Amino acid sequence: MLAVSDYSLLYPKTIGLMKGLVDLIKREDVRKESLILVVRKNTEDLIRILFSEGFHKLKFCENKKPMQIGSGFTKMLDRTWEMHIRLIDMKEGLVAIQGEVEISRKYIQHVVSSRAPVIYEIASMLKKNGIDYNIWNSKINDYVSNIIDDHHIKLKGIPFLIPWIPACIIGPSVGMWFVLRFFGLI
């Protein structure tokens, strides 16, 4: 079993909008908040960039979003945390990029672990690859003109992780042993 360290990241708190308004994203709304990066780029080019940045395509176990383009992408950030990115088809040739940090799918705790959306990590990757982007606030239906300050998010680690593969082998084996003992067969 492996212990999980905490993971820290920043997420916009107070944002300026193109309409001249200011919006405050409450801490409890960060998980629900719908800030997404929007690019006008060919999907194949985005996928090539994701692969060059160390992401790989998810093969199974993904909750697909409406309008999602293909499968999502994931990249290990350390031994336990991973970043999951989805590409969403928008109207008029735009592609939205949504991402979150979560405990790796390799572990049973992935199903119930804390997770948080990411903006800066994806924006940094897009800048590095020369791709212009905008941040869209789907709650207000307006683009973000500037970010005034941030939330400091700390995803709490958990005391131990259980890998799926050993658990799927050991669990049924131990269960069978108890069943056989119960019926007096061993």
Handedness of CA 111, 164, 100, 157 (dihedral sign): positive
pLDDT, greater one: 185 or 6: 6
With cut-offs at 50, 70 and 90, classify the pLDDT of residue 20.
Answer: confident
Between residues 135 and 180, the one the model is more confident about: 135
**Strands 7-17 and 142-155, bridge-based pairing:** antiparallel
Q: Exposed, middle or buried, 115 (CB in 10 Å: 0-12/13-18/19+)?
A: middle
Mean pLDDT of 152-172: 67
Q: Is 127 helix (H, G, I), strand (E, B) or coil?
A: helix
pLDDT tens for residues 80-111?
889 999 999 988 889 999 999 887 777 766 55
The whole-model pTM stands at: 0.80
Query: pLDDT band at 10, cuts 50/70/90?
Result: very high
